[in-house]
Amino acid sequence: MAENKRDYYEVLGVEKGASAEQIKKAYRKSAMKYHPDRNPGDKEAEEKFKEVGEAYEVLSDDDKRARYDQYGFAGVDPNFGAGAGGYGGGFGGFGDFGDFGDIFGEFFGGGRSRGSSANAPRRGENVMSRLELTFEEAAFGVEKEVAVPRVENCAACSGSGSADGVVETCSNCRGTGQVRTVQNFMGMQMQSTAACPRCNGKGKVIKTPCNTCKGKGKVRRTQKIKVKVPAGVDEGQSVRVRAEGNVGSNGGPNGDLLVEIYIKRHAIFSRQYMDVLCEVPISFTQAALGAQIQVPTLDGQVTYDLPEGTQTGTTFTLFGKGIPEVGNSRRRGNQRFTVVVETPTKLTKEQKDLLRQLDGTLEETPKRKKFFDTIKDIFD
């Protein structure tokens, strides 16, 4: 299994002791770099995207990561040891005793359960992808296509793994995928259960493997999947598409596709939960005298009556002009816009004289009076 594979930590460019957040951040960066949508027709980028996805699939799962750290690629092989939930081929600290770990796993109830079957239906694993949206697409919802590398049944052999369609029950384990051995330990006979070496724990034997999938019955393909993004979705949230993940085994259901959402920076708007935020520049005259101003919203421009004497930094609210609630698009947040008074520059001499005349007629504002009175008290 490990042939031609790079270490998963090396693939993501992180240290072995990296935190879950560091692994996720590294995955996002690499997935964005090699995503098929950004590298159309680039086979090398597509392979790297698959490699990054495979590495993240293992390192983001605590159980798989622990097995990978202890046993390498063999630890995350579906045919590894006694199967999911078992100790596999080792028992921490007792590696020199061969099957010692398997014996104690069986004795204390570890390893594959006695009632489990190699041919039992198993659900396919979930796969992850990412989707970048505009601010408006995230606000109002959209349908997009994403390129998803996933495991599917081999079309050449209909998922059987056999070139001629003939799959036989393993005579060594009689289809159970397990064999029992009896070992003497300290004068006691103890039984252990392990994967059948003839069929590698599958319970079936293929004499003529399919050339396309090499007898595995599954292949990795990149498919374009339509994703309906609901209105109101936010950065970092995921949209689940049922049954569009990896194919299940032995008739088990497919896994799901989890699409993580990224939102492009908007030129005017930003977001805080369901509220839309923006700044609106106004002139000194508009602030002093009041005015009707045009305010941009997600629904287009609206007219707002600005009161006279408006100070820079004042925030006003447009109710119901924010982001729709996920699952209930009739309920929306608000839009809050903050006015910023722009000081005029490059004034003519005449304009400056007029402003000086105006300033001489204005009463001192309460805020300025309080400020200078405080200064006077401090220094006198």
* pTM, two decimal places: 0.57
Does the pLDDT value for residue 102 go beyond 60?
no
| Mean predicted confidence (pLDDT) in 287-314 | 90
> What local confidence, expressed as pLDDT, does residue 96 receive?
33
The most confident of the ranges 192-201, 223-232, 347-356 is 223-232
- Is the model more confident about 115 or about 307? 307
Please state which of the ranges 290-294, 331-335, 341-345 shows the lowest mean pLDDT.
Answer: 341-345
Does the pLDDT value for residue 103 go beyond 70?
no
Does the pLDDT value for residue 18 go beyond 50?
yes
What sign does the CA torsion over 5, 50, 25, 34 have? positive
- Is the model more confident about 307 or about 172? 307
User: Could you tell me if 308 and 326 are in contact, meaning their C-beta atoms sit under 8 angstroms apart?
Assistant: no
- Per-residue model confidence as pLDDT tens digits over 83-95: 333 333 333 333 3
The radius of gyration computed from the CA coordinates of the chain, to the nearest angstrom, equals 33
Q: Which residue reads 């099957």 in tokens?
A: 99
User: Could you tell me if 267 and 326 are in contact, meaning their C-beta atoms sit under 8 angstroms apart?
Assistant: no
Residues in the chain: 380
Q: Where are the alpha helices (DSSP H) in 221-270?
A: none
* 3-class SS of residue 131: strand
- Is the model more confident about 180 or about 299? 299
How far apart, in whole angstroms, are the C-alpha atoms of residue 311 and residue 326? 36
> What local confidence, expressed as pLDDT, does residue 289 receive?
87
> What local confidence, expressed as pLDDT, does residue 357 receive?
78
* 3-class SS of residue 280: strand
- Is the model more confident about 206 or about 107? 206
pLDDT over 70 for what percent of the chain?
81
> What local confidence, expressed as pLDDT, does residue 75 receive?
73
Collect contacts of 153-158 with beta carbons under 8 A, ≥24 apart.
Answer: 153/217, 153/218, 153/219, 153/247, 154/210, 154/212, 154/213, 154/216, 154/217, 154/218, 154/219, 155/212, 155/219, 156/210, 156/211, 156/212, 156/213, 157/210, 157/212, 157/213, 157/217
> What local confidence, expressed as pLDDT, does residue 345 receive?
80
Q: Whole-angstrom distance between the N-terminal and C-terminal Cα of the chain?
A: 84
